[in-house]
Structure 1
Amino acid sequence: MQHFWVVGTDTDVGKTFVTTLLMRNLQKQGIHVTPYKPVQTGEVHDGEQSYYYDTTMYEKYSLQLLDRENLNGYSFKEAASPHFAAQLEGQQINTQRLLGQMQQLQQKWDVVICEGAGGLFVPLDSYGETTLLDVIVQSKLPVVVVTRTTLGTINHTLLTLEALSKRKIEVLGIVFNGDTGSGMEQDNIKTILRHHPLPFATLPKLKHISHIMDLAITDTSLFERLLKHETSIN
């Protein structure tokens, strides 16, 4: 069965949005899909209600019933790096626990999409000895890289791809998120693909998150790669 990570070149590049979008589009193919967020931070307060954006997005836009208790490993209230958010609550992130949860989910679902936190080198412990990238390596799963289209994306994306390549992590493709169609953005995309001719999808900048329901990526080379990879493994 096919399982993979959605990782970002930085924080706030749209990992949760892309994870949710890929989940929906795969579900439309009749595939049993669940997202999984190992560590989420930043509790949102809306009046008397409190929630976490990532897992709430999954549940709100999923086309299948999800198991709420198994959507993530750790949730910390402070909107900060996982290691610091955990430290504020007197906790430590057990990476073996996360890997165990991923393994269990892979036994139950056709596709598990694991969403990263921040960039690849975000620390998961106070000493900086364990990073998200270390967990990805141990999971032995391929990745989809999410990046911006705006100024700075070339450097961030190439560094991310280099780090993955050095660790022999398979990259299924790239998602260029938030495109407005400017000449600079188109050149950024072409430049990155010239260095790394990978399957990709370019997503427009949406006026409202609810427009995710109307967004299809089934005709992109990235989605074709995901389906081929899933079929070849099954």
Structure 2
Amino acid sequence: MGGAFFITGTDTEVGKTMVSVLLMQALQRHGLSVLGMKPVASGCIPGDVGMISEDAEALLAAASFPVDRSLMNPYTFEPPISPHLAARDAKTEIDLWHIAANLNQLRQQADMVLVEGAGGWFAPISDNRDMADLARSLQLPVVLVVGMRLGCINHALLSVKAIEDSGCRLLGWVANRVEPRQLRFEDNLATLQARIAAPCLGVVPYLDSEAAASAAVDQLDLKTLLPLAPVPLEN
């Protein structure tokens, strides 16, 4: 069975999906077969094959081979609202066991599965469960995407503490430059590197071209991710 890890973010709109795609590409460059999973998605678009999540489509496109959309993206909701509200409106219960069963199927097919959460660590998926419960129930280590912008230090440190307090292992974090003109970017980055014990897996610049994205893939540090594979590869 393949390895797996969970991607969360310091907030919504911090580039989790983009960083997830870059990590998938980086792992593939190391010879691993990789699949993505988006267990819960809101803000979906009605399509010929049901509700379509742009995030899930990006993960499907980056995968090593095609898989059934409903397997990797079992819960989809149209309103662009918190998943617990969207699920309540749709009279749907998000079943963690169903998500776990789907993940196991994906892990039987690939060397590595990246599971992308929705929103931040405590984004609710029901009246009494959140993304932290999902990651914990799947027993997955975590990678945190930090959206580099004003307020990122507080959001990042709170997220790190929350992940650790939830009993999950933080494999590392990625600094994603979502605001290209962030003041004192290097100082903010240095502060995070000094205060977060887990390693920084990479600094993703503000991406404005395919060439920049490809270069960002090569700069990612996978030392804590590669050992999750069934037969760990050298970095």
Tell me whether the two structures share a fold, i.e. TM-score over 0.5: yes
1:204 to 2:205 alignment? yes
How far apart, in 1, do the equivalents of 2:152 and 2:213 lie?
A: 27
1:96 to 2:97 alignment? yes
Q: Shift of the alpha carbon at 1:8?
A: 0.6
How far apart, in 1, do the equivalents of 2:164 and 2:60 lie?
A: 33
- The residue that corresponds to 2:214 in the other structure is 214
How far apart, in 2, do the equivalents of 1:159 and 1:107 lie?
A: 34
The 5 A counterparts of 1:59-208 are 59-62=60-63, 64-69=64-69, 70-125=71-126, 127=127, 129-178=128-177, 180=180, 184-200=184-200, 201-207=202-208
Q: Is the 8 A contact 2:46 2:78 kept in 1?
A: no
| Alpha carbons of structure 1 residues 211 and 68: separation in structure 2 relative to 1, 3 Å | farther
Q: Is the 8 A contact 1:61 1:213 kept in 2?
A: no
How far apart, in 1, do the equivalents of 2:213 and 2:51 lie?
A: 24
Q: Shift of the alpha carbon at 1:131?
A: 0.8
| Structure 1 stretches of at least 4 aligned residues deviating more than 3 Å after TM superposition | 179-183, 210-213, 215-220, 228-234
Q: Is the 8 A contact 2:3 2:229 kept in 1?
A: yes
Q: Is the 8 A contact 2:32 2:111 kept in 1?
A: yes
How far apart, in 1, do the equivalents of 2:155 and 2:110 lie?
A: 32
Q: Shift of the alpha carbon at 1:215?
A: 3.4
Q: Is the 8 A contact 2:205 2:216 kept in 1?
A: no
Q: Shift of the alpha carbon at 1:97?
A: 1.1
How far apart, in 1, do the equivalents of 2:18 and 2:211 lie?
A: 11
- The residue that corresponds to 2:57 in the other structure is 56
Q: Which moved more, 1:102-111 or 1:157-166?
A: 102-111
How far apart, in 2, do the equivalents of 1:232 and 1:199 lie?
A: 22
Gaps of 5+ in 2: none
How far apart, in 2, do the equivalents of 1:212 and 1:143 lie?
A: 25
- The residue that corresponds to 1:11 in the other structure is 12
Instruction: Give the partner amino acid of 1:152.
Output: G
SS in 1 for 2:105: helix
Instruction: Give the partner amino acid of 2:137.
Output: Q
Gaps of 5+ in 1: none
Q: Shift of the alpha carbon at 1:212?
A: 6.7
Q: Shift of the alpha carbon at 1:198?
A: 2.5
- The residue that corresponds to 1:38 in the other structure is 39
Q: Shift of the alpha carbon at 1:28?
A: 2.0
Instruction: Give the partner amino acid of 2:37.
Output: Y
Superimposed CA distance per residue, residues 128-170 of structure 1 (whole angstroms, 9 cap, x where no aligned partner):
x111101111211101100111110001100110011112311
How far apart, in 2, do the equivalents of 1:88 and 1:16 lie?
A: 25
| Alpha carbons of structure 1 residues 32 and 149: separation in structure 2 relative to 1, 3 Å | same
Q: Shift of the alpha carbon at 1:211?
A: 5.2
How far apart, in 1, do the equivalents of 2:12 and 2:45 lie?
A: 17
Alignment RMSD, CA only?
2.4
Size of the aligned set, in residue pairs, is 227
Q: Which moved more, 1:103-112 or 1:178-187?
A: 178-187
SS in 2 for 1:35: strand
Q: Is the 8 A contact 2:44 2:80 kept in 1?
A: yes
Q: Is the 8 A contact 1:95 1:135 kept in 2?
A: yes
Q: Is the 8 A contact 1:173 1:198 kept in 2?
A: yes
Superimposed CA distance per residue, residues 162-219 of structure 1 (whole angstroms, 9 cap, x where no aligned partner):
01111231111111112637551211111111111322210011125x5575234344
Q: Which moved more, 1:68-77 or 1:6-15?
A: 68-77
